[in-house]
Amino acid sequence: MARTITFQQAINEALSQEMARDPSVIVMGEDNVGGMGADGEMDAWGGVLGVTKGLYPKYGERVMDTPISESAFIGAAIGAATAGMRPVAELMFIDFMGVCFDQIFNQAAKFRYMFGGKAKTPVVIRTMVGAGFRAAAQHSQMLYSIFTHIPGLKVVIPATPYDAKGLMIQSIRDNDPVIFCEHKMLYGVQGEVPEEIYTIPFGEANVAREGKNVTVVTLGRMLHVALEAAANLAKNNIQCEVIDLRTTSPMDEDTILESVQKTGRLVVVDEANPRCNIATDVSAIVAQKAFRALKAPIEMVTAPHTPVPFSPDLEDLYIPNAAKIEAAVVKVMAYKG
């Protein structure tokens, strides 16, 4: 039965249900329990923002705190995966990939291919992404494109509580390493989520809103901003079709291309920096595979090519907003060959 819970609760529920179902699922990360070795309460934090809270009381030693040693424990999760476990490791912020990237892209991503198909590495690396938290340059980035670039990794960016639960369960059951990107500004977002266990397949985009005039492809938190823009534009009789990619590796090209065949116009909205991001990737695919369908040049709405600023005024300018998306849509609608 569905009921309304938050994005954060949806992820917690997915972890808990999979841990109950499969004893090989273990959870680890900095402060994922909280209070380890101290004199006060255990499960004091349940992760820095509380996503794993309540798991330790239920599953005991299968929920593990780690030293602040991302190379060691992300690598340990990967090693445990090759040795038969299904670890879910938390890289607290995706920005911290810099201190453990080797274990992810040279080890986990390569094993299956490099070892001639004989290795399975069923590890999930949960990581917080995105701006808006006033967390500044080293805790706010959208680095999913870097992982999407690497063969052997799968990359998941849920936008709703429903998707977060279904995609997390799918991620845990997948036999390849999965980078699971959780936008920190979505944790409090509420939505209908079934209590039952369900999965959402990778590589299936969600058409979040249908429309005939402009295709808006987006992902993560930007889905909500794009839907806000689409609602505003509908008042002026511009109908946007809003597509949420949900996963960038694999990526659902068919849904994008079918939509562009219908609308003839494309706006891609991506919270990442503008070079070599998901927006440029989607644009390249559409330019190559649906060139004749296009009635206007593709528009991209992204963050600027700058680090994420701290000052709230500056950060708000940095993050793509509905007005910018609306302007891009109006621009492609107004284009006259």
**For residues 327 and 216, what is the distance between their CA atoms, to the nearest angstrom?**
12
Here's the x/- map for other proteins, 193-222, by CB under 8 A: it reads as: ----------x-------------------
Q: Is 107 in the site for other proteins (CB under 8 A)?
A: yes
- In whole angstroms, the minimum distance from the beta carbon of 169 to other proteins comes to 18
Give the residue numbers marked as catalytic. Answer: 139
Asked whether the CA dihedral 324, 327, 332, 336 is positive or negative, the reply is: negative
Which of positions 232-291 make contact with other proteins (CB under 8 A)?
Answer: 249-251
Q: Is 58 in the site for other proteins (CB under 8 A)?
A: no
3 vs 118 by CB, closer to other proteins = 118
Burial of 280-301, coded b for 16+ CB within 10 Å and e otherwise, reads bbbbebbeeebeebbbbebbbb
Here's the x/- map for other proteins, 158-177, by CB under 8 A: it reads as: ------------------x-
Burial of 54 (0-12, 13-18, 19+ CB in 10 A): middle
Residue 153 CA to its chain's centroid (Å): 13
- In whole angstroms, the minimum distance from the beta carbon of 202 to other proteins comes to 9
CB 272 within 8 A of CB 144: yes
Which has the closest alpha carbon to 174: 112, 129, 223? 112
* Inter-helix orientation angle 7-21/161-173, to 10°: 30
The single residue listed with the structure tokens 């940095």 is: 318
Q: Is 74 in the site for other proteins (CB under 8 A)?
A: yes
- In whole angstroms, the minimum distance from the beta carbon of 175 to other proteins comes to 9
53 vs 112 by CB, closer to other proteins = 112
- In whole angstroms, the minimum distance from the beta carbon of 221 to other proteins comes to 22
Helices (H) and strands (E) in the chain, counts: 12, 14
Which has the closest alpha carbon to 77: 128, 126, 141? 126
- In whole angstroms, the minimum distance from the beta carbon of 192 to other proteins comes to 29
Q: Is 35 in the site for other proteins (CB under 8 A)?
A: no
Instruction: For residue 250, say if its preceding peptide bond is cis, omega within 30 degrees of 0.
Output: yes
**For residues 265 and 135, what is the distance between their CA atoms, to the nearest angstrom?**
35
Instruction: Please choose, out of 42-50, 101-109, 129-137, 305-313, the segment that lies near other proteins by the rule CB under 8 A.
Output: 101-109
Judged by CB under 8 A, how many residues of this single chain contact other proteins?
Answer: 45
Binding test (CB under 8 A) with other proteins, winner from 5, 11, 19, 26: 26
Binding test (CB under 8 A) with other proteins, winner from 2, 22, 60, 114: 114
CB 140 within 8 A of CB 94: no
Binding test (CB under 8 A) with other proteins, winner from 122, 152, 158, 166: 152
Instruction: Please choose, out of 61-69, 181-189, 209-217, 230-238, the segment that lies near other proteins by the rule CB under 8 A.
Output: 61-69
**For residues 71 and 20, what is the distance between their CA atoms, to the nearest angstrom?**
28
Q: Is 154 in the site for other proteins (CB under 8 A)?
A: yes
Binding test (CB under 8 A) with other proteins, winner from 45, 56, 111, 318: 111
Q: Is 147 in the site for other proteins (CB under 8 A)?
A: no
Binding test (CB under 8 A) with other proteins, winner from 10, 19, 77, 325: 77
**For residues 164 and 167, what is the distance between their CA atoms, to the nearest angstrom?**
5
Which H helix or E strand runs over 329?
Answer: helix 322-334
Q: Is 73 in the site for other proteins (CB under 8 A)?
A: yes
Under the rule (CB under 8 A), what is the footprint of other proteins? Answer: 24, 26, 62, 64, 66-67, 69, 71-85, 87, 102-103, 106-107, 110-119, 151-152, 154, 176, 203, 249-251
